[in-house]
Amino acid sequence: MAPLGSIAWGALAAVYALWILYLAAMNLRRAREAGRLTRLVRAIALPVIGATVAIDVAVNLVLATVVFFDRPREWTVSERLARYLPGTDWRARVALWVGVHLLDPFDPSGSHLRR
């Protein structure tokens, strides 16, 4: 069995990897919306998008379930956080903090979780 510290570092690494991939995906989205995404870049970006989706789903199904003490009803972390936002409990406060500080500044729309 892995020591608890190793599990915590692995969880932190997964969340950080997801955020880095989110930044890449938002940059690709910005380029696509500006009409600057060539066929070559789209082809090269497919593995990045695939990795983003895979890690997002894994983090949502495993880590977010443990952190939020709540079974997933959706596939991605963003969808889960958006579901928490109409509320006023601790989950909503965490979702709002993540949205405001980690997601919204990089989403071309300015509001990733659509509050």
Global model pTM greater than 0.75: yes
Residue 115 pLDDT class (50, 70, 90 cuts): low
Which residue segment(s) compose the domain that 81 sits in?
A: 4-106
Q: Which of 76, 86, 81, 79 is nearest to 99 (CA)?
A: 81
What pLDDT is recorded for position 1? 62
Within-domain flag for 114:
no
Q: Rounded distance, CA 98 to CA 2, Å?
A: 28
Each residue's pLDDT tens digit, 47-71: 999 999 999 999 999 999 999 999 9
Three-state helix/strand/coil letters over 27-93: HHHHHHHCCCCCHHHHHHHHHHHHHHHHHHHHHHHHHHHHHHCCCCCCCCHHHHHHHHCCCCCHHHH
Question: What is residue 106's DSSP assignment?
Answer: G
Give tens-digit pLDDT for 4-28: 678 889 999 999 999 999 999 999 9
Distance CA 99, CA 39 (A): 31
Domain count, the chain: 1
Euclidean distance between CA atoms 107 and 78, whole angstroms: 12
* pLDDT value for 3: 79
Residue 16 lies in a domain: yes
Lookup: tokens for 30: 């910005």
Is 57 a member of any domain?
A: yes
Average confidence score pLDDT of the chain: 93
